[in-house]
C-alpha cells in the first residue's frame, strides 16, 4: 500500500497494521486483558490543553536535547520491543539504521532477533547513536552476565532493567490466535536458536528464563558490581519506587507500563509522571513511554517534567509498513510535529534551555493546563 499518504502516526498504524497477518498485528498492537491501560495511555493526552504565548522570538528555537552524554535531535528514543523481524525481515537492523539516520537513540530488547553487535554496528555505520540494552532479571545469572559483558563491549551506554514483569501480562490475542514463536527467527541475545523455541508460546519462554525472586537489594548492587553502564529502571509508576531508585543509586527511571502489555488497570504513564518527577526531585533522570503518538504528546510529557519520551509500537508500524524507510518516516513525523509545537507555543530559547546538571530540554509547566483546571 505504498501509495497511501502517511501524514501522521495514526496513518502509519493503519498502513503498518494492514500489512501484517492478524496474529502478528494483534501481538504487536494489543495490551493485556481488557485493554484499559493501553487505551488510557493515549487517551490521557486529551486531559491537558496547551497555553501558548505569543510574540516571542522563536527563530532560534532548538528541539535538540542531551541523553546519555550525546546530543539527540529531539527528546525521543525507540523503546526496546522484541521480535521486530516478525514485522519486517530486517527487524532491529532497520530500526537501528533509522534511529542513527535521524539522530535519536535506541533501546535494544533482550528479545531482539538480531545479535547485539549487528544491531549496533549497522547503526554506527550510518551515524553516531547511543544504545541501551534492555534486561530482565533472569534465573540464569551466567547468561545475564554474558549479556551485560557483551553490551559493555559493544559500547552500550545504559542498562534498562525491566522491573514490571515478575510475571508476563495476560494477552488474550495470543490465546485466541494461538500465537507461537514463528519459524525462522532466532533470539541471539538470549542465546535461543529457532529450533529450540519454534512453536512455543511466549508465556512458556518467559517462565523459563524470568526470575521473580528479584528485589531492589538483590538486583541493583549485583548490576553495579558488574558494569559501568548507567542503570535505569524501566517500569516505574510511583513516587515510592522512584525514591527507591534514588536510594539505590540508579541513574534514571523510565516511567512505563510496558505499553499496557503487563498489568492492566495501572494508570497512563502521563498520569503517573508527576508523582515520579516530584519524588525524583531532580536527583535522578526521568524518561517516559507509553502511548506517545504526536509531537504534542511529547511536549506535554516534557512540560510535566520528563526529559525524554520513547515509542515502541510506532517503530513497529514503520517497520511493517516499509522497513527502515517506515521507521524514518515515523521519526520524521514526530520530529516535525514536536518542532512545530516548540515554535508555535513560543518556547523560545529562554524557556527551553539546557540546565548544566541534566542538560535537558526543559519546558515550563506554564504551557500546560488541564481540562479540569480550565473548567473550574
Ligand atoms: C514491548 N515492550 C518491551 N519492553 C521491555 O522492557 N522488553 C521487551 O522485550 C519488550 N517487548 C515489547 C514488544 C512489543 C511488541 C511491544 C509493543 C512492546 C514495551 C516497550 O519497551 C515500551 O514500554 C512500550 O512499547 C511503549 O508503549 P507504546 O509506545 O508501544 O505505546
With 60 as the cut, is the pLDDT of residue 373 above it?
no
Q: Which three cell numbers stand for residue 356?
A: 548544566
Instruction: Give nearest CA residue, ligand 1 atom 12.
Output: 81
Residue among 88, 202, 258, 287 flagged as catalytic: 258
For residue 313, the ligand 1 atom closest to its alpha carbon is: 30
| pLDDT tens-place string over residues 124-140 | 999 999 999 999 999 99
With 80 as the cut, is the pLDDT of residue 57 above it?
no
Ligand 1 and 45: CB distance under 6 A: no
Among 105-109, 255-259, 360-364, name the one with the lowest average pLDDT.
360-364
How far apart, in whole angstroms, are the C-alpha atoms of residue 341 and residue 170? Answer: 37
Q: Looking at residue 368, what is its pLDDT?
A: 75
Q: Known catalytic residue: 258?
A: yes
Separation of CA 145 and ligand 1 centre (Å): 23
Q: What is the mean pLDDT of residues 29-55?
A: 91
Ligand 1 and 91: CB distance under 6 A: no
Q: Looking at residue 347, what is its pLDDT?
A: 67
Separation of CA 201 and ligand 1 centre (Å): 18
The three state secondary structure string of the chain is CCCCCCCCHHHHHHHHHHCCCHHHHHHHHCCCCCCHHHHHHHHHHHHEEECCCCCCCCCCCCCCEEECCEEECCCEEECCCCCHHHCCCCHHHHHHHHHHHHCCEEEECCCCCCCHHHHHHHHHHHCCCCEEEEECCECCHHHHHHHHHHHHHCCCCEEEEECCCCCCCCCHHHHHCCCCCCCCCCEHHHCECHHHHCCCCHHHHHHHHECCCCCHHHHHHHHHCCCCCEEEEEEECCHHHHHHHHHCCCCEEEECCHHHCCCCCCCCHHHHHHHHHHHHCCCCEEEEECCCCCHHHHHHHHHCCCCEEEECHHHHHHHHHHHHHHHHHHHHHHHHHHHHHHHHCCCCCCCCCECCCCCCECCCHHHEEEHHHHHC
For residue 291, the ligand 1 atom closest to its alpha carbon is: 31
Q: What is the mean pLDDT of residues 75-101?
A: 98
Structure ipTM over 0.85, yes or no: yes
The rounded percent of the chain whose pLDDT value lies above 90 is: 80
Contacts of residue 176, defined as CB under 8 A and 6 or more positions apart, other chains included, come to none
Ligand 1 and 42: CB distance under 6 A: no
For residue 311, the ligand 1 atom closest to its alpha carbon is: 29
Q: What is the mean pLDDT of residues 315-325?
A: 98
Q: What is the mean pLDDT of residues 55-69?
A: 84
Instruction: Give nearest CA residue, ligand 1 atom 19.
Output: 258
With 70 as the cut, is the pLDDT of residue 354 above it?
no
Ligand 1 and 202: CB distance under 6 A: no
In 3D, which of 69, 81, 119, 79 has the Cα closest to residue 97?
Answer: 119
Ligand 1 and 81: CB distance under 6 A: yes
Separation of CA 54 and ligand 1 centre (Å): 38
Contact 287, 310 (CB under 8 A): yes
| pLDDT tens-place string over residues 248-307 | 999 999 999 999 999 999 999 999 999 999 999 999 999 999 999 999 999 999 988 999
Among 206-220, 272-286, 342-356, name the one with the lowest average pLDDT.
342-356
Amino acid at each position: 500500500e505504498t501509495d497511501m499518504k502517511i501524514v501522521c502516526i495514526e496513518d502509519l498504524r493503519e498502513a503498518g497494521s494492514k500489512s501484517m497477518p492478524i496474529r502478528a498485528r494483534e501481538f504487536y498492537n494489543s495490551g493485556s486483558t481488557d485493554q484499559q491501560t493501553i487505551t488510557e495511555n493515549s487517551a490521557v493526552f486529551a486531559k491537558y490543553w496547551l497555553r501558548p504565548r505569543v510574540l516571542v522570538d522563536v527563530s532560534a528555537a532548538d528541539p535538540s536535547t542531551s541523553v546519555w552524554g550525546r546530543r539527540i535531535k529531539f527528546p525521543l528514543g525507540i523503546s526496546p520491543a522484541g521480535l521486530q523481524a516478525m514485522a519486517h525481515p530486517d527487524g532491529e537492523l532497520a530500526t537501528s539504521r533509522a534511529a542513527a539516520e535521524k539522530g535519536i537513540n535506541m533501546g535494544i530488547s533482550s528479545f531482539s532477533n538480531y545479535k547485539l553487535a549487528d544491531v549496533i554496528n549497522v547503526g554506527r555505520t550510518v551515524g553516531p547513536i547511543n544504545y541501551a540494552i534492555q534486561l530482565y532479571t533472569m534465573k540464569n545469572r551466567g547468561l545475564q552476565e554474558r549479556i551485560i559483558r557483551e553490551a559493555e563491549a559493544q559500547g552500550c551506554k545504559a542498562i534498562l532493567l525491566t522491573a514490571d514483569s515478575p510475571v508476563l501480562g495476560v494477552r488474550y490475542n495470543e490465546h485466541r490466535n494461538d500465537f507461537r514463536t514463528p519459524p525462522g527467527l532466532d533470539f541471539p541475545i538470549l542465546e535461543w536458536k529457532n529450533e529450540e523455541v519454534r512453536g512455543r508460546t511466549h508465556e512458556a519462554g518467559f517462565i523459563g528464563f524470568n526470575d521473580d525472586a528479584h528485589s531492589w537489594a538483590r538486583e541493583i548492587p549485583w548490576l553495579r558490581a558488574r558494569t559501568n553502564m548507567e542503570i535505569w529502571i524501566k517500569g516505574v509508576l510511583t513516587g515510592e519506587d522512584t525514591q527507591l531508585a534514588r536510594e539505590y543509586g540508579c541513574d534514571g527511571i523510565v516511567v512505563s507500563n510496558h505499553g499496557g502489555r503487563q498489568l492492566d488497570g495501572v494508570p497512563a504513564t502521563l498520569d503517573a509522571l508527576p508523582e515520579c518527577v516530584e519524588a525524583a526531585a531532580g536527583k535522578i533522570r526521568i524518561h517516559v513511554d507509553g502511548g506517545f503518538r504526536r509531537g504534542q504528546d511529547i511536549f506535554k510529557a516534557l512540560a510535566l517534567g520528563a526529559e525524554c519520551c520513547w515509542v515502541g509500537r510506532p517503530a513497529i508500524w514503520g517497520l511493517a509498513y516499509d522497513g527502515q524507510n517506515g521507521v524514518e518516516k515515523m521519526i520524521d513525523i514526530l520530529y516535525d510535529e514536536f518542532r512545530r509545537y516548540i515554535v508555535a507555543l513560543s518556547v523560545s530559547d529562554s524557556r527551553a534551555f539546557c540546565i548544566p546538571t541534566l542538560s535537558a530540554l526543559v519546558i515550563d509547566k506554564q504551557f500546560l493546563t488541564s481540562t479540569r483546571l480550565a473548567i473550574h
